[in-house]
Structure formats: C-alpha cells, structure tokens
Amino acid sequence: MTLLKHREVLLALAIGLLVWLVAIRFPAFLQPSSLVNVFNDTSPLILLAIGQMIVILTKCIDLSVAANLALCGMVAALLNGSGVPLPLILALAIALGVLLGAVNGLLVWKLEIPSIVVTLGTMTIYRGTIFLMTDGAWVNAHQMSSDFKALPRAVILGLPVMSWVAVAAIIVFTVLLTRTPLGRAFYAVGGNPHAAVYTGMNVGHTQCLAFMISGGLAGLTGYLWVARYAVAYVDIADGFELSVVAACVIGGVAIAGGAGSIAGAVLGALFLGVINNALPVVGISPFWQMAISGSAIVVAVAFNAAQSRTPGRIILKPQEAAR
C-alpha cells in the first residue's frame, strides 16, 4: 500500500499496463529489439527531461532547451564539415550547451528576470542564430563524416550508444542529486528558498548551475540528434521543449519547485515514448500523439495537485478533531 503512494511506482505500473495492452494484440511489441527501440527513441527526451527536472526543482523553467539542442546540433554538424575530430566536436557541443544555459542562468540570477521570460526570449534567439549561421541551408547526410553519424547508432552489449548515454546520464544525475551537496541544494533552494538562505546557500547561483546542467545536456543531445537522424537544419526538435516539460509534469515534478526525482522524470519521458511508439503499432494515426500528451499533462498536473493538498491547521486535540 505504501509502495503505491510513490508516484514513480504508479507511473511504472501505468507504463507496464500500456505495454501489456499493446502486447495483447501485437506481441511483437514485447520483443527485446522492439523495447530497445522504444528506449532508444526516447533517449533524447530522457536526457532533456533530466536537465529540465533539475531546473524546475529550483523553481525555474527552461523553454530554450529545444532551441539549444538545435543550435548545438548544427554547430556540431558544421564543425564536422570542417574536419574537426569527433571527440573535440562532442566536447565543444557540450561546452556550447553549457554556455547557452549559463546565459539563461545569469539573466535569472544577476538580473532576477523571471525564467519564463528569459527562456522564451533565448529560445527564439538561439534558433534564429542557426539561421544566421547557415542562411537556412540544411546539412545533409552526405555532408557528414561516417564516424560522426555512426557513433550514436553503434551497438554495445545490445544497446545503441545513444541509449547508453541516456543510461549514463540517469546514473550520474541520480548520484548528483542524491549524493552531493549540490544535488541537495537544488531541492532546498526550490523547496524553501528562505530557509535555504539561512543554511548558507545562494539561491540565484544554484539556479544558474541548474540552467548550465540543462544546457549541457541539451548540447550533448544536439550532437546525438543530428548524428542519429543524419540531418541538421533550423527547425529540428521544434516544439520539443513542451514534450520535455510534459515528461517532467507527468513524472510528478512539482512546477512550484522542490519536489521530484530523476526516476520520475525518466518514467514520464518513457510514458510519452511508449505512447509515441505504440500508436503506429496499434494502427492509430500518429496525429493523435499531440492530443494524448496534452491530456496526459493536464491529468498529471491535476493528480499532482490532488496529492499535495496540505491539511489545515490542527488546534483541537486529536480525539476532538476526529469527531
């Protein structure tokens, strides 16, 4: 019973149920290769959801992640075109992502501009910058080196590298959030900013670090995305930021900050991923995707609110109050 109170468990059960329902009619969906495929497809969403979850923990929101991803992906593709070695490309993509995240973070920290305004602005600026760099031209598969394209698809122990990156991120950030002072600071800053100041934390600085993490993950995902789909252009991952926020909300991350877990965000992403992959299998038009994830967000936020209703003040003695 207490296990069911954890929303991660509930969500995992919901995902299991979903997979099972699909599998009743289409047993092939349950094959390992198919499940690996679902996970792999969902990996970019998982990576960004982890970053977004940390930002939301600190009472902020990062709407610029998808634009950040697209810009870093384009830069990676262009660097590849000019012959930069792959490891350096990876490092630069992540560094650029961190830098773009830091721009958001500094505006939030130093100028105290609400994060929603900052990231609404930077999302158009980052995406516009891609156009300025390329004049709207695409970088196509034949313009990319083969090792650049091969890395995310390379299979190690049955899983593609892209999936391994997601797995690694899940582990690294679970450790970061649960086992380091910084990780606990993210929770404290979002959960009770006043008390956090009394325990010696700098709220703005912590928020800035959250944006840098989110940015770095977006940069990394930018390379993976462009390499896997072997194409880079202005509009890749357009609107993806909403799926990322949706994954977090479905995963029980409180939009008011201070509550949530990596497991929740990952499961939220997987929930959306399973739906997206199952729809074509069961023969429902993929055009249903958007409405389903929209409904899922609304249901999840209503569910979160119902769970976190705080009881009123108790003045009467318990035995009296019971009457």
Partner 1 sequence: MHPVLSLRGISKSFPGVKALQGVQLDLYAGQVTALIGENGAGKSTIVKVLTGIYQPEEGTIDIDGTPTRFATAQAAARAGVTAIHQETVLFDELSVAENIWLGHAPRTRLGLIDRRAMRDGAKRLLDSIGATLDPDLRLGDLGIASKHLVAIARALSTDARVVILDEPTAALSHKEIHELYELVETLKAQGKAILFISHKFDEVFRIADRYTVFRDGQFVGEGAMADATEDKLVQMMVGRSVDQIFPPRSHNIGDPVLTVAAYSHPTEFADINFTLHKGEILGFYGLVGAGRSEVMQALFGITTPSRGAVRIDGQVRVIRSTHEAIAAGIVYVPEDRGRQGAIRGLPIFQNVTLPSLARTGRSGFLRLAEEFHLSRDYTQRLDLRASSLDQELGLLSGGNQQKVVIAKWLATKPRVIILDEPTKGIDIGSKAAVHEFMAELAAEGLAVIMVSSEIPEVLGMSDRVIVMREGRIIDEVTGVRMTPETLVRAAAGIAEAA
Partner 2 sequence: MTPAGRSIPDRLQSRRTRALRSWEMILLVVAVVVFIINSFASPYFLNAWNLSDATFNFTEKAMIAFAMAMLIIAGEIDLSVASIIALVSTAMGLAMQAGAGVPLLVVIGLGTGLLCGAVNGFLVAGMGLPSIVVTIGTMSLFRGISYIVLGDQAFTGYPDGFDYFGQGYVWWVFSFELVLFAAMAVAFWVLLHRTSFGRAVYAIGNNATAAQFSGIRVARVRFILFLLTGLTSGIAAICLTSRLGSTRPSIATGFELEVVTMVVLGGVSILGGSGSILGVVLAAFIMGMVTFGFGLLNVPGIVMSIFLGLLLIGVIAVPRLLRGK
Report the interface residues with partner 1, using CB under 8 A.
175, 178-181, 184, 187-188, 191-192, 194-201, 258-259, 311-318, 320-321
| Residue 81 interacts with, from partner 1, partner 2, none (CB under 5-8 Å by kind) | none
Contact residues for 25 (Cβ-Cβ < 8 A; gap 6+) = 282
Look up residue 205 and give its two tokens: 């600085």
Helix residue ranges, H only, the chain: 2-5, 7-25, 32-57, 65-81, 86-110, 115-134, 146-150, 161-179, 181-191, 193-198, 203-229, 240-250, 262-282, 289-307, 318-322
Burial of 174 (0-12, 13-18, 19+ CB in 10 A): middle
**Please, what is the minimum distance in Å from the beta carbon of residue 131 to partner 2?**
4
| Residue 320 interacts with, from partner 1, partner 2, none (CB under 5-8 Å by kind) | partner 1
| Residue 295 interacts with, from partner 2, partner 1, none (CB under 5-8 Å by kind) | partner 2
Comparing CB distances to partner 1, the nearer of 25 and 179 is: 179
**Please, what is the minimum distance in Å from the beta carbon of residue 240 to partner 2?**
12
Q: What are the residues facing 139 on neighbouring strands?
A: 232
User: Of 158, 146, 213, which Cα lies nearest the Cα of 39?
Assistant: 158
| Residue 293 interacts with, from partner 1, partner 2, none (CB under 5-8 Å by kind) | partner 2
The span from the CA of 270 to the CA of 275, in Å, is: 8
**Please, what is the minimum distance in Å from the beta carbon of residue 34 to partner 2?**
25
| Residue 311 interacts with, from partner 1, partner 2, none (CB under 5-8 Å by kind) | partner 1
| Residue 201 interacts with, from partner 1, partner 2, none (CB under 5-8 Å by kind) | partner 1
**Please, what is the minimum distance in Å from the beta carbon of residue 287 to partner 2?**
4
Comparing CB distances to partner 1, the nearer of 156 and 321 is: 321
**Please, what is the minimum distance in Å from the beta carbon of residue 133 to partner 1?**
39
Contact residues for 164 (Cβ-Cβ < 8 A; gap 6+) = 156
- CA 259, distance to chain mean position in Å, is 16
Query: Which residues lie near partner 2 (CB under 8 A)?
Result: 61, 107, 111-114, 116-118, 120-125, 127-129, 131-132, 136, 234, 242, 245-246, 249, 255-256, 285, 287-298, 301-302, 305
User: Of 125, 126, 224, 116, which Cα lies nearest the Cα of 168?
Assistant: 224
Contact residues for 169 (Cβ-Cβ < 8 A; gap 6+) = 46, 47, 50, 217
Comparing CB distances to partner 2, the nearer of 172 and 290 is: 290
**Please, what is the minimum distance in Å from the beta carbon of residue 165 to partner 2?**
27
